[in-house]
Amino acid sequence: MEFKEDLDSMDDRRSDVADFIDLKSLDQVTDLTSQIHNLPCCIRHDGECQVSDYFKPKKTGVVLEGLEVEEGSFRGRRLRGATVPVPDGYRGLVLERRKDMGKGKGVEASDENSSWEATAKFDNITYWNHDSFPSQNDALMRFLHWFPVADALHKPVTVEDLGCISNSLDQKL
Amino acid sequence: MGSESLPPWASQPCMMGIDEAGRGPVLGPMVYGCLYCPLSYQKTLASLKFADSKTLKEEKREELFESLKEDKSIGWAVDVIDPRELSAKMLKKDKINLNQISHDSAMGLVSRVLKMGFLLSEVYVDTVGDAEKYRCKLSEVFPGIRFVVAKKADSLYPVVSGASIVAKVTRDRALRNWVLHESVANTHRNFGSGYPGDPETKSWLDDHKHPIFGFPTLVRFSWGTCSSYFKDAVEVIWEADKEEEDGSNNKSGKRQLKLSSVGFTGQKRKSEEVESSAKGRSKFFQSRKLELVTDFH
């Protein structure tokens, strides 16, 4: 299955180019579930690293606001976090720019159209706060609110939905 | 840890000495130790030749520790503060300095022994920071106890010398038996004394630095000593440091280090670069850090 989306239609400066995201081989791609961490800092490094040798988070057994609190540390700072599933109907992907594109251009021109490839997938993400306990007010938890909102705004209304609404209206009356 | 079942002298007025070991080292735990006995035992205690632990050889300290453990008229307790705890507290958003940590630990020991049921009437403490302020703080928390807070209390009062042996021996043993939390090959245990100036400690730090993670968690990341080792490490930017750079909170202790300044390559970065701010969008998106992305880079 090839997934191609014309993302550039939203940007009128670049009307005739398109970014590609290739989801062809999602079944063979590495599953990084439970290995994706969102840290409360910016690490100016892009590349591989033996993370699990050093980063050994633990479950604390404490549950706060429905979140199982985990604890870890990075560069001396205490991290507290929680693991959150990717919402139903969505999928977490790690994308990498495809190397064979942009031929003849030499430099990877960031303003040109580019092709992306999913190199890994994940079904959950562990996010970390510096010191503070995870809470439903954290940006990552609140960002999940977008999904039901997006559904309400964009999901096509089915006949069943209309049936449900009229039923509940009948009950109220 | 410490002595357990309550001896008959617990209800007599007791004295206690409190001292620390491993406050200065850049690695390993900091240990607070206390020793307590009935006031009536004071003279015997003075004859036991507990000198300041730093002036004794390691074997002598071990020997004295073993003999005081056997002594039925002496009780002792320790508080071992993990280096991870020290780093975490000193690098918190609201930083807790080492003096505060030390005071809390000493007070923890006093309340632990009181709770066990000992009647403490006098407590001798080696000072951390201003002695008089420290004494007032202790007296406020424990109004029933007479506190003597002094510089070099470990060489002035035998009960504090005893506490310093308890603390020092515990710290040395803890470091000797330390199990690294990291599963990294080629580690060794030649920590040296742990003091930043010790050549052995220096080479241990050199051998165990990591470009991303910095060091194993045995190391106190909040120590200024770490900065020179991070010069060629990957830069890490924290929100807590950004606030500090923006002014206001600049009261951090000398030993505390701003990790953000480590490996900085010139221009300052604004927060927008670090995370999406969803600038110019509805508040719903701003507070959720949701940004509309039309292409990836």
Residues of B at the A interface, defined by Cβ within 8 angstroms: 84, 87-88, 90-93, 181-184, 210-214, 216-217, 219-222, 234-240, 259, 263, 269, 273-275, 284, 287-290, 292, 294-297
The verdict on a CB contact (< 8 Å) between A45 and B88 is: no
Q: What is the pLDDT of residue B2?
A: 52
Spell out the per-residue pLDDT of chain B, length 297, in tens: 455 679 999 999 999 999 999 999 999 999 999 999 999 999 999 888 787 667 788 999 999 999 999 999 999 999 999 999 999 999 999 999 999 999 999 999 999 999 999 999 999 999 999 999 999 999 999 999 999 999 999 999 999 999 999 999 999 999 999 999 999 888 899 999 999 999 999 999 999 999 999 999 999 999 999 988 888 899 999 877 776 655 544 444 333 444 433 333 333 444 444 456 677 778 888 888 888 877 665
Longest dimension (CA), chain B: 81
Residue B249 DSSP class: -
- Chain A nearest-CA distance from B1, in A, is 23
Q: Is B232 annotated as a binding residue?
A: no
Cβ atoms < 10 Å from Cβ of B172: 21
Q: What is the pLDDT of residue A167?
A: 75
- Chain B nearest-CA distance from A27, in A, is 23
Q: What is the pLDDT of residue A3?
A: 33
- For strands A20-22 and A92-97, give the pairing: unpaired
Q: What is the pLDDT of residue B250?
A: 42
* The dihedral formed by the CA atoms of A148, A154, A155 and A156, expressed in degrees to the nearest 10: 160
Alpha-carbon separation of residue A162 from A168, B127, B284 (angstroms) = 10, 76, 28
Q: Residue A84: which H helix or E strand, with range?
A: strand A77-85
In this complex, the residue of B90, B213, B290 whose CB is nearest that of residue A75 is B213
Q: What is the pLDDT of residue A13?
A: 39
- Chain A nearest-CA distance from B191, in A, is 19
Indicate whether A5 pLDDT > 70: no
A148 — pLDDT class (breaks 50, 70, 90): confident
Structure token pair of residue B154: 């470990």
The verdict on a CB contact (< 8 Å) between A56 and B181 is: yes
Establish, for the pair of chains A and B, how many residue pairs have beta carbons separated by less than 8 Å: 109
Q: What is the pLDDT of residue B173?
A: 96
